[in-house]
Every structure is written in structure tokens, then in C-alpha cells.
Structure 1
Amino acid sequence: MDKVGKACAQDEERPIRFTRAKARALRGIPPPPSRPSSKNEQKNMSRANSKRAAASGDQTSVVVPALGQNKRRAVLTDVTNICAESHDKCTDASKFRAKGVYRKKSTKRASGVTSELSSTQENVRAKLVEDLSTIRMVESNDTISERVMPGTKPSMQDSVKSEEFQSSSKNDVEVISEKPGTSNSLDIVDIDSELKDPQIWSSYASDMYNNIRVTELKMKPLTNYMEKLQTDINPSMRGILVDWLVEVSEEYKLVPDALYLTVNLIDRYLSTKFIQKQRLQLLGVTSMLIASKYEEMCPPRVEEFCFITDNTYTKEEVLKMEREVLNVIHFQLSVPTIKTFLRRFIQAAQSSYKAPCVELEFLANYLAELALVEYSFFQFLPSLVAASAVFLARWTLNDSEHPWNPTLEHYTNYKASELKTVVLELQDLQLNSKGCPLNAVRDKYKLQKFNCVANLSPKPVQSLFEAQV
């Protein structure tokens, strides 16, 4: 008996060890006494509690799910509980819940808990609807007019401001939502309606070109840099350089965009940095190297550009100049050029023909490349030069009718009277009335692959603008 008594005393003094598994099993059971007298009493107590829970059913207890299911449900319910509890304290939580949070319904919850949760959810939803309605009313009142203090009448100045705001916002919406071909005029042809190729992005073409028109104004370089900044070079040196680069682009079979971007980089650098005439050719080949890397799939190597200059410059000098040019232009290579607008305007001009006219495209490109060589055309916007090239090309090919129509006016945003100065300058270049000795562009477009469009000469175009009212 003494041994038994000592064993019982030792059992009473030994602390009971609670594991995580026991804690999860006893989660829905009332807490046990602080220290049971023996192990047998502890087992009896757990059995009694389990029988009591089974007898009551789902009315008073929560069925404990499996371990994996409990973890998954805890992750999902944590998000909803946070949103529900912090709705009154934090407005961001209500907005987050309004947008929609994925919530997985638990099928093993007790009816009392689910009814409680559903009632809280209904209260939160009702409150959320009220908040959203008030927010919308406040936003609409703020956007329509300014706030007026109670007891005071709005002044005439306030009413004028609200009317101006409404009219300006209406105009902005109309400009943004304006699409080609939506004009009331039946003479305007929608040039994007028949293009079904998804790679052409015809549905975005109008918005893209509206954005490009803004960009060409922001990226316009200094138009008189020869007079203000460059003292060691002159416009004729620049013309010789560009004329030689036309031959280089033909030698390496570069895409036309590379040539236009090359000239753009040269002018942007010269309008910012002073350069000596000994390094002018280095600037030209470096600009063409950068443009080739940007536009070509397989650009020529640096050694080839050194070779084309008869090894006047080393590879290290070209790479050093490349870093300098990129830093001067702030690595902004995506700029609109004459070629960017020429594609769009030629497409609009082709809409008046029953079949595509290849000569129109060749002739417009020929006139645009003639403008690249001349420094005087640098003062005009690229879109204006492109529209003038299309105007003169249409007149050269067909002088029986006026070359401008509502479709071209719609897509170029230029009236015929606005093209007068540039068209007359282009016609002088086409006829070579000044006797320019630079013939790289002329020799290029005298080839048969361009239908010898350089041999065409137009009738005087001055009469077209005199007839304009």
C-alpha cells in the first residue's frame, strides 16, 4: 500500500504535458481543471466531454476539420475577417472588398456560426453600398461645379468657371474619342476599316498618330543651330555628309527608317554640342551605327563603319563617340521622322485610287529624301514635309485634278493652303533649279527598281494655291 500511495503521489506531482495535437483536439471542449488527480480521471473527463459534444450535435459545437483543410481555410478566412472587422476603421478595406475578394465557403461550419457570419456580411454590404453611393455623389458634385458654402449664392464668376470646365472637358472627350472616318462628311474614307491583319494595329492607328503629332513638337531640335552654335561647319558640309550617308545606306542595304533616324541624330547632336569639321564624318558614321542597331535586325559591325571611312577613325573612337551621342540625346531613339508620317499619308492618298499606285509611294519617298539633304527643310515639322511630299507626288502623277481631298486633310490635319511654302520648296528641289551638285538621292531613284521616278517633272504648282480661297 505504501508503494501504491507513493506512486499516486508521484503522479500527482508530475506535470501534465500538452502537445499541439491535444490542443487542437480539445479546441471545442471546455478547459480542463488546472491539475487532474490522475491519468484515469483525465481519460474519463475527455470521454465525457466527447460524449457531450456528440450528443449536442451541430447546435452548440464546431466540427474541427482536418489539419490541411484547417490551414487552407484559415488563409482564406483571414482576408475576409480583416475586411469585415476593419470596415468601420479603414475605407481602403471597403474599397478592396468592393472590388471582390475570392472567398471559399466552408461546408463544415456550424449553423450558428454561419448565420452569425451571414448577418455580419449583410450589414457590411449594406454599409458599403451607402458609402459608395455617397462617394459617387460627392465626386459628381466636385467635378460639375465648385463647392458653395451654405447660405451663399454662387457668383457669376463661379458659374462661368463651371461652364468653362464643362465645355473644356467636353472638348477633351471629343478629341480623345475622335476616330478616323467618324466625320459627317461622306467624302472621308476610313482607311483602317479594311485592314484585318492584327499586326497592323489598325484599331489603334488613330490614337497612335495623335500621340506622335504631340511627340514631334516636344522632340523638335534647334532649327538654327548653324547660325548660333556651329562655327566650324556650314550647311553645305552637312549636305555633303547626308548625301554620302545615302550611298552608305544603299551599300549596306539598310531600311529607310535607319537613314531618317541617322539624320535626326545628327541634327539633334549638332543643335546641342559644338563639333569640329574633322569629326563631322565620325558623327555621321556613329549616328548610322546607332540607327542601325535600333532599326535593323542584323546591323553592320563597327569595323565595317570604320572601313567605309577608309579607316580614318578607329573602333575605339567610334565607340567613344557612340556613348557621347547617346548621352547628348538622353538615349531617346524612338522619335517621329518624315518616314513615320509618310507611311500613314501615302495610305490615305491611295484610298482615292482603284488599285494601289506604286509610283506614288516611290515618288513621295524620293521627294522626302531630297528634303533630308537640304538644311533649310530642317525648320519644318516632319509631318508637314511628309504631307507636302504626298501633295507634290500626286500632282506630278496626275495634274488633271486637285491633289488634295477631304480624306488627306482629315488624316494629315493640314489644309492645302498650309502646305504652300514647303510644296514650293520641294518643287525647286525636284526640278533642281538651284543646280545642287549632290546627286546620291537622284541617282538612287533613277534606277528601274524605283520606276525611274527621279526623271519625272511636274507642272508649276503655284496655280493651285492661287485658286484657294
Structure 2
Amino acid sequence: MNKANKAASAKDEERPHRITRARAKVLGSVGGIPPYSRPSFKNEQKHVLRGSFTRTGSDENKTSVVIDPLDKRKQVLNDVTNICSNASTFQARRVNKKKNTKLASNVSFEVSTSQGDVRAKLTKEVSTIRVVESHDTTGEHCMSNSIREHGITDNVLSVQDTAKSDGPSSPNKDIDMICEKLGASDCLAIVDIDSEIKDPEVWSSYAPEIYNNIRVTELSRRPISNYMGELQQDISPTMRGILIDWLVEVTEEYNLVPDTLYLTVNLIDRYLSAKLMQKQRLQLLGVTCMLIASKYEEICAPRVEEFCFITDNTYTKEEVLKMESEVLNILHFHLSVPTTKTFLRRFIQAAQSSYKVPHIELEFLANYLAELTLVEYSFLQFLPSLIAASAVFLARWTLNQSEHPWNLTLEHYTNYKASELETVVLALVDLQLNTKASSLNAIREKYKQHKFNCVATLSPNPKPVQSLFQVQV
């Protein structure tokens, strides 16, 4: 600080009632007080500022307030008084809170007592019908379809929540409902087919969710059941049967997996459901759909030239590739389709659970019956899952007619009751006995081989089959 500033500061200290230049200028412009006189404050103001406003450096806007020690002490005492009053209020609130807590604890004790009775009653009734097994996952899979949708845990929680809100009468209804569902499912008779599978490539823990998903997909990606009458004019069901019977021989020639055959038939029917086709190009459509299915299902798919060769070079490579592009565009590249073979694997696994040793003939016979439906145009009206369940039903009855072929495990995993299979099972019996004397024998000749245990030669008695549906199981 220079000498001039020091001198100005000394003079200012001698003046007891000094104001800043900026304040004096403002007051003077509005006809205010004379210089160096003290401004008057209102009487009702609680605290009077004493001292002076000092200016540091050349900044006239920055000011510091000096408060009188006496006023400061009064302010401190006032703050302490406020704190004490607040503390007393807080203490009073704590006393009220303790009272409320005590009352609430009495109420909660009564509610928890009623909940404990409900929980004990529920545990007692549920324990009488639970499956006693060593595997933890068995209890999940032995529930009925309705219980699997809601879950035991969710129902128990809902009972507890209801006890809190609706009173003691509502939980009893929920308990009765749960026990009624569990009793109806008879979970003691349902076998968990996924618990003992240790192969990591099978992913058995995801199987229920996967098959629930494909049950929805089979409804959206199925062909029109009567496209021959609505759209096609140059193709008949007989031509379609001849084409598929020939494709069965092609799959045997190239050792293709059954999934390739099922997908090929699905692609053919879906294409014919959407596009008009001439009979001269029907075989081209067949080999093209098998080419697409082979690329999707096979590890080493046959080349395009091989599919041209099996048609005696009736079609060129360019024609097959052009047809391939057309089929894929018509179907919007939707190739992930659940077929009868997809469901058949799951249902055969459920059927094998009733045997101590896997019944190999059951698998061959069920596959044989399912493949017989491929050449029959009339079976397009049935869902693939329904055909697969009916094939397992008839296969079990053909091999063992001493007991009913359907049980709660099969009903659980197929979601079909025996009464729902009647129409398809009776139609399968006609195919198995070949009552129409069909000349399309590729599938029959295939399953007469010893590698399939000659299951094509087996046949049931048609009259007892029909008698199975007279009494609903």
C-alpha cells in the first residue's frame, strides 16, 4: 500500500461516521444526507452494524462488514436458544415415535403370528405331495402346466402379501387353490427327464424353455393346409406325394439326416402355399429345397452338380441356383422351423422314462410312423407336435398292448391329453396298415431294413386302438 493510501486510511479512522464514495454519490444524487454523516436505520431492525466499510486496493465493489462483538455474542446466544428449542422438539418427536413403534410392534406381532400359522399350514399340506428325490431340480419339473407358469415360490409370496393386505381369510383361499393344483398334477407320477442328463452339449437345463418357444413358432411358420385347392391349379396331392417319396430315396442315397428331409418337405409346402407352380418345375423345386435344407442341416452338404445329376441333368446348375434365390426370397430366409422330428426327439425321451432300459424299437417305430405322414397331403392340417405325440402313442401301443400307452409324464411334456390324439392316431393306424394300398413305398422299404429292426412289419390291432379313447384318461 502506498503513502497516499495510508494517509487516507489514517484520516478515515479519525472520522467516526464515514461512508464510501460510491454510497455518498448515490445518496447525494437522490437528495440524501451530507457527506460523512451516518445513515439512519429502521427501529425494528434487530441488529445494528457498527464500524466502517473498508476498501481494499482499487476495487470499490468488495466490502467487508465488521460486526460489533456485543451483537455477535447476542447472535450466538440466539442461535444456541434455537438449537435448544429444536433439540427439545426432536426429543418430543422421538418420544412419540417410540410410542408409535411400540404400538406397531404389537400389531406386527399379531400379523406375524397369523402369517406363521398360514405358513405352517401351507408347508404341511405342500409337504404331503412333494416329490422326495435327491436332485434339487426334480421339484421344478414335476409340477403341472399351471403350476409351472406361476411357480410355488411366487404363490407362497403372494399368500404372505395377501395376509398383510386382505386379512386372514384370503390366504386360506390361496392355499386351497395351490393344494388343489398340486393334487391334480399328481407330480409323483411325472418323471424329470432332464435331471440325469450330464452331457453339456444337450443343454438339458434350457430344454423346457426351448420347447415352449418352438410350440409358438410352429403356429406361425406352417404351410396352408389346403393350398392345393386355393392356389395351385397344375399340381395335385398325388404329384406332391410322388415327389416326396422320391426325395426319401435321395436322402438314403446321400446319407442325409432325417432333419434334412423334414425341412425339405416344409420348404416345399410353404413355397407352394405362396407361389403358383407348374408341374414341369415341381422336381426343380424339390431338389432346390433339399439343397437349401442340406446347407442348413448337414455338415457336408451335397454340391449343386450332384442335385443336377440325380435329376438326369434335367435342370442346369444355373436353373437350380436361380430357383434357390427365388425360394429364399419367397420364404424371407425363415429356415429355423420346428418340424415333427424336432418334437419327436423330446417326446421319445419322455416315453423312454417308463422303461428301465431304453427301448430302441420304440424310437425306430415312432420315427417310421412320423415319416409316413410326410407323403400324405391330408396331414398338413395337423400341427407337427400333435403328429409327433400321436406317433409316440401308437408306437407304444404297437409294442405293448397290455397297458395304456399314455401316462402323466407324456401328458406333461407333450401338453396333449390322450383324448386330443384320437383323430391323428386313428389316421396313423390307416397309414401303418396301408388301408389305401398306396404305391409310395420308399419309407416302408427303408424301415424294413435290419438297421431299423424291421419295424415296418409291425402292426397293431385296429379295434383295441379305438377302444382306448372311449374312456378319457
Identify which of 305, 321, 329 aligns with 1:303: 305
Q: CA deviation at 1:327?
A: 0.4
Identify which of 225, 228, 231 aligns with 1:226: 228
Identify which of 175, 184, 192 aligns with 2:149: 175
Structure-1 separation of matches of 2:272 and 2:449: 33
The equivalent residue for 1:185 is 187
Task: State the one-letter code of the partner of 2:469.
Answer: F
Structure-2 separation of matches of 1:312 and 1:176: 58
Looking at CA atoms only, which structure, 1 or 2, has the larger radius of gyration?
2
The equivalences for 1:54-203 within 5 A come to 175=149, 184-203=186-205
Task: State the one-letter code of the partner of 1:236.
Answer: T
Q: CA deviation at 1:172?
A: 9.5
Identify which of 236, 240, 246 aligns with 2:238: 236
Q: RMSD of aligned C-alpha atoms?
A: 1.7
Structure-1 separation of matches of 2:427 and 2:146: 36
Q: CA deviation at 1:467?
A: 2.7
The equivalent residue for 1:207 is 209
Q: CA deviation at 1:198?
A: 1.3
The equivalent residue for 1:465 is 469
Task: State the one-letter code of the partner of 1:422.
Answer: V
Structure-1 separation of matches of 2:288 and 2:430: 31
Identify which of 304, 313, 324 aligns with 2:326: 324
Structure-1 separation of matches of 2:402 and 2:471: 15
Per the normalisation by structure 1, the TM-score is 0.62
Q: CA deviation at 1:468?
A: 2.4
Secondary structure of the structure 1 residue equivalent to 2:403: coil
Gaps of 5+ in 2: 1-144, 154-181
Per-residue CA deviation, residues 395-443 of structure 1 (Å, 9 max, x unaligned), is 0000110000000000000000000000000000000001000000000
Structure 1: which 4+ aligned runs deviate by more than 2 Å? 171-174, 176-179
The equivalent residue for 1:367 is 369
Secondary structure of the structure 1 residue equivalent to 2:358: coil
The equivalences for 1:24-35 within 5 A come to none
Task: State the one-letter code of the partner of 1:462.
Answer: Q
The equivalences for 1:391-410 within 5 A come to 391-410=393-412
Contact 1:287 1:322 in 2 (8 A): yes
Structure-1 separation of matches of 2:286 and 2:440: 17
Gaps of 5+ in 1: 1-170
Per-residue CA deviation, residues 229-271 of structure 1 (Å, 9 max, x unaligned), is 0010100000000000000000000001000000000000000
Contact 1:293 1:299 in 2 (8 A): yes
Contact 1:391 1:423 in 2 (8 A): yes
Distance 1:332 1:178, change over 3 A: farther
Per-residue CA deviation, residues 114-158 of structure 1 (Å, 9 max, x unaligned), is xxxxxxxxxxxxxxxxxxxxxxxxxxxxxxxxxxxxxxxxxxxxx
Distance 1:395 1:184, change over 3 A: closer
The equivalent residue for 2:437 is 435
The equivalent residue for 1:341 is 343
The equivalent residue for 1:286 is 288
Task: State the one-letter code of the partner of 1:438.
Answer: L
Per-residue CA deviation, residues 347-370 of structure 1 (Å, 9 max, x unaligned), is 000000010001000000000100
Secondary structure of the structure 1 residue equivalent to 2:289: helix
Distance 1:402 1:178, change over 3 A: farther
Task: State the one-letter code of the partner of 2:468.
Answer: L
Structure-2 separation of matches of 1:176 and 1:234: 48
Q: CA deviation at 1:206?
A: 0.3
Secondary structure of the structure 2 residue equivalent to 1:265: helix
Contact 2:232 2:272 in 1 (8 A): yes
Task: State the one-letter code of the partner of 2:397.
Answer: W
Task: State the one-letter code of the partner of 1:175.
Answer: E
Q: CA deviation at 1:218?
A: 1.2
Q: CA deviation at 1:176?
A: 6.8
Contact 1:399 1:459 in 2 (8 A): no
Identical columns (%): 78
- Count of residue pairs brought into register by the alignment: 297
